[in-house]
Amino acid sequence: MISIIIPTLNEESNIGSLLGALRSLEESDCCRCEIIIVDGGSSDKTTKLCEKADLLIHSQPGRAVQQNAGVQKSQGDIVLFLHADCELKPGSLLAIQQLLADGKYAAGCFRQQIDHPAWKYRMLEWGNSLRVRWFQSAYGDQGLFMTRSVFEQAGGFPDVPFLEDLLIMKKLRKLGKVGMLHKKIVISPRRWQKTGVIRQTIINRLFVTLAHLGIPPHVLAKYYPQVR
């Protein structure tokens, strides 16, 4: 069984459609899964739109805290972490099972498709795919997944307010390869639209570089623009 963990915070515009799509995907892929919503204190209607989830739990805000809480309550052999503003293609759940069954992969992610027709988004997708291939580094908006045993060996997400995906990837690379599926995950362009593609890309690269240089995540989080 695949446990799908979705951290939320004021996602009323996305969560209902995502849950409906995941239930349809579960049926079409003939794959058993459980969907767990971990809400970090939404003030909108997010928690009222979670009827199709198997479990709704509450935690302190922060993707690392929320995702760890979701895994603790889950029962699946595989854990898949999704952001609320994404969409998976038919066959995605089966593709996850097939990749992890290979045995040489510690974790995996999807090929990214940003939901906007402009060419600059195609360049972003291309660059993000190269990052996974060359550096074995997947980010949270690419739909990170792994077996429960690998998640436990990695120690879960580090208890930080920011860059939790970057930090867990360092541990996962020591446990095996990170694969990227041909299946695509469709994600919202909202962050780039608000901040600007070039500016947001520069911001992302800067913060990752600062993290590699040893600046603590809790310090960097104070300056990173939050977009929902």
Amino acid in position 227: V
* pLDDT top residue among 110 and 197: 110
Q: Number of folded domains in the chain?
A: 1
Locate 111 and state its tokens. Answer: 């090929």
What's the mean per-residue pLDDT of the chain? 94
Confidence of residue 67 (pLDDT cuts 50, 70, 90): very high
Please indicate, yes or no, if residue 90 is contained in any of the structural domains. Answer: yes
Site of tokens 């069954």 = 101
Evaluate whether residue 204 is within a structural domain.
no
* pLDDT above 90 (res 114): yes
Q: With respect to residue 141, please indicate whether it lies within any of the assigned structural domains.
A: yes
Q: Specify if 222 maps to a domain.
A: no
- Predicted local distance difference test score (pLDDT) of residue 198: 87
The confidence band for 35, taking pLDDT boundaries of 50, 70 and 90, is: very high
Residue 228 maps to a domain: no
pLDDT in tens, 72-100: 999 999 999 999 999 999 999 999 999 99
Residues 63/7, Cβ–Cβ less than 8 Å: yes
Percent of the chain, pLDDT > 70? 98
The model's pTM is 0.94
Query: Has residue 167 been placed in a domain?
Result: yes
- Is position 118 within any domain? yes
pLDDT given for residue 227 in this prediction:
53
Q: How confident is the model at residue 195 (pLDDT cuts 50, 70, 90)?
A: confident
pLDDT value at residue 125? 94
Pairing of strands 177-187, 86-88: antiparallel
Would you say residue 216 lies in a domain? no
Domain encompassing residue 158:
2-187
47 pLDDT more than 60: yes
Spatial CA neighbour of 145 closest among 92, 191, 188: 92
At a CB cut-off of 8 Å and minimum separation 6, what does 94 contact?
29, 30, 31
Per residue in 200-223, pLDDT (tens digit) is: 889 888 988 998 888 998 898 888
Q: Which CATH number covers residue 68?
A: 3.90.550.10
